[in-house]
Structure 1
Amino acid sequence: MERPTVAVTMGDPAGVGAEVIVGAYPAICDAAAPLVVGDADVLRAAVAVCESDLTVTAVDSPSAADADPTRIPVLDLDNVDADALTYGEVREDYGAASLEYVERAIELATDGAVDAIATAPINKQATRCAGSTYAGHTGMLADYTDTDEYAMMLVEGIEDTADGAAADLIVTHVSTHVPLTEACNRVSRGRVRTTIDVTHEGLRDLGIDDPTIAVAGLNPHASDGGILGVAEGSEIEPAVDHARADGLDVHGPESPDTVFAQAAGGAYDCVVAMYHDQGHIPIKMLGFASDDAVSGVNVTVGLPIVRTSVDHGTAFDIAGEGCASEASMVDAVEVAARIARNRARRGDGDGAEAADLPDAGSG
């Protein structure tokens, strides 16, 4: 699988999705045969905004994705009037269009017509206006693929090494887009163990065959032996012990204020974070400090299909200006192609199965 076919969804038409696809396109053709799923006229408008020499061709089949770096093939759903397109505006029809792009890409991936999906950002307000109840892509992908056990993995700077692969920092999350009080309640031994399992499989998908995983505590200093909280002793430590008994190289609970720096220094291949900001802050600090600006990749681990995404939003404030960085989109497609190749090499494509570890209540 030299160049896997990657369906690239265009995201919200009023955002920077089409622009970052245009900026990324020549580079991503080195790793994949990309097929944009969206609106051809909106993409042509982005070509003009970016002052690009690329051409856009409407196609009706994934087989037209030929990795030609001068021509962008688009599975044209013809949802948006590009002549009336208003950048930076939350609209129901834009939200509906972005949802249909994702739905079609999922259909292509589950049918085996494409090898992976990479998504440009959608706008949650717009999709809610269109009637969606999902907080973002992840829940939608899980429901459409009948997946119960999954997690968000953020990857910064993955590359091949003599031992397989390594990254600047990789983080997965026990919970993501929920209020902090609910996130604390979701720290249960079953959920932590499941996250460890899908993390292990996700790292193998990236080419890290024998990963070392650190699990962060929930409380400051991982509770200092129970002085600062009980979740570490009642929920996190039993999950880690259970995973280690099954042969996984897992450590923790580790102090959240040091474990991410340790992982970035090479001590661990990945950190399992307990909630959204605990994991996102170190990843985004590392990404924004790099020369590539926003360059991280969001991977949904645990799915039977391959899905990656840029690690930024619709950027309505700069949409239509042609200045959005394409770095994260380049990385997202390259990581999607990497995972597709590794799954093909291993001969599997199924999501990880959850371990049989009953919950003992919330931490």
Structure 2
Amino acid sequence: MSEHKPVVAVTMGDPAGVGSEVIVKGHARASRDAIPVVVGDADVLRDAVEVSGSPLSIRTVDDPADARDDQEIIDVIDLDNVSDLSYGDLREAYGAASLEYVERAIELATSGAVDAITTAPINKQATRMAGSEYAGHTGMLADYTDTDHYSMLLVEDDLRVSHVSTHVPLSEACDLVTEERVFQTVRVTDDALRSLDVDAPTVAVAGLNPHASDGGLLGDAEAEEIEPAIERAQNEGIDVVGPESPDTVFSQAAAGDDVDCVVAMYHDQGHIPIKMLGFESGGVSGVNVTIGLPIVRTSVDHGTAFDIAGEGIASEESLVDAVELAARMARN
């Protein structure tokens, strides 16, 4: 591996989506901070070069150690598992291919052959058609690395948000707000912030109910589950506050009001403020980090975008940010 730059395995994502395009369009900028090695299909990447009007060339390598620190060449570990390419199509074969990219990247990371993983988007319907029981990357990464306590952390500029639950129905998400899950999310969030160069992090925990239940008038999850979890974390020396009213805590954190991360109780509570910031300029930015793993994994914070795949108009901002953040975490 490089003595100066971390080697980051970048999985190509669903072949029918925008993953290959954003990898090609973001390569020159991403390679300033890392040596990216794509795990995917070389022919699909070559097609993305044409779609993007890029001057880059594609080179196949068998080992990440053979990757070059070159902004004009994209090195790829070619799994050669896409027989024909049709952008925007939902196919079992594409779901299976995208899962193979992730599996290989995990092998490389756990063996130390790469320093981190950045994932382009997979399509959950396609992976389900291919037989996967996982709702996305996160559960798969946790199982493959034997990780019990983990969380999704989203990063957009100064706003960071971790989650007690993510891809479950809202009714189930409410049931998952337990003292143990909230406590473990706070703990892995504190650890992750330190790997992001936050020396003495302050974590704010959002309430589940409106106005954090308003003293019990609007629910009891805060008093019965969230407050005891916060007290446990404080007793372990973690600087954590809350439960805070969810309709104000995210804007306070984004403004830098002495809060380094917000723990959200469920998927949309945390994703909406992040995506409001990341999408407001017409681009697509923001990074998804799986925290609590023994390896570094970041991801783009957008989907496969089948509706624009193959048109050469997908934004590479999130991919570039994800590789840069993976490199920074790997260095730490």
TM-score by length of 2: 0.98
Letter in 2 for 1:276: H
Q: Which runs of 5+ in 2 are unaligned?
A: none
| Partner SS state of residue 8, structure 2 | strand
Offset, 1:246: 1.4
| Partner SS state of residue 247, structure 2 | helix
More divergent stretch after superposition (254-263 vs 237-246):
237-246
Q: What is aligned with 1:289?
A: 280
| Partner SS state of residue 257, structure 1 | coil
Letter in 2 for 1:78: D
CA distance in 1, matches of 2:74, 2:105: 16
Deviations 1:168-225 (A, max 9, x none): 2000000000011100000000000000000001111111121010000000000000
Aligned pairs (5 A) from 1:222-233? 222-233=212-223
Q: What is aligned with 2:184?
A: 194
Q: What is aligned with 1:185?
A: 175
| Partner SS state of residue 18, structure 1 | helix
Letter in 2 for 1:33: I
Deviations 1:121-163 (A, max 9, x none): 0001110111000000000000000001000000012xxxxxx
Q: What is aligned with 1:85?
A: 85
* One of 212, 218, 230 as aligned partner of 2:202: 212
Q: What is aligned with 1:203?
A: 193
Q: What is aligned with 2:330?
A: 340
CA distance in 1, matches of 2:247, 2:116: 35
CA distance in 2, matches of 1:35, 1:65: 7
- Confirm or deny that 1:4 pairs with 2:6: yes
Q: What is aligned with 2:100?
A: 100
Q: What is aligned with 1:38?
A: 40
Deviations 1:251-306 (A, max 9, x none): 00000000001101112000000000000000000111146x21100000000000
Aligned pairs (5 A) from 1:138-153? 138-153=138-153
Deviations 1:9-38 (A, max 9, x none): 000000000000000000011100100000
* One of 16, 27, 30 as aligned partner of 1:28: 30
Q: What is aligned with 1:250?
A: 240
Q: What is aligned with 1:110?
A: 110
Letter in 2 for 1:76: D
CA distance in 2, matches of 1:284, 1:67: 32
Q: What is aligned with 1:274?
A: 265
Q: Which stretches of structure 1, 4 residues or longer, exceed 3 Å deviation after superposition?
A: none
CA distance in 1, matches of 2:163, 2:152: 6
CA distance in 2, matches of 1:169, 1:242: 25
Q: What is aligned with 2:250?
A: 260
CA distance in 1, matches of 2:232, 2:129: 43
Letter in 1 for 2:57: T
Letter in 2 for 1:101: Y
Q: How many residue pairs are counted as aligned between the two chains? A: 329
Letter in 1 for 2:264: A
Letter in 2 for 1:226: G
| Partner SS state of residue 166, structure 2 | coil
Aligned pairs (5 A) from 1:51-90? 51-81=53-83, 84-90=84-90
* One of 164, 172, 185 as aligned partner of 2:162: 172
CA distance in 2, matches of 1:266, 1:290: 20
- Confirm or deny that 1:321 pairs with 2:321: no
CA distance in 2, matches of 1:205, 1:246: 18
Aligned-residue sequence identity (percent) comes to 71
Offset, 1:64: 1.9
Offset, 1:96: 0.5
CA distance in 1, matches of 2:281, 2:202: 25
Offset, 1:67: 2.0
| Partner SS state of residue 256, structure 1 | coil
Letter in 2 for 1:39: D
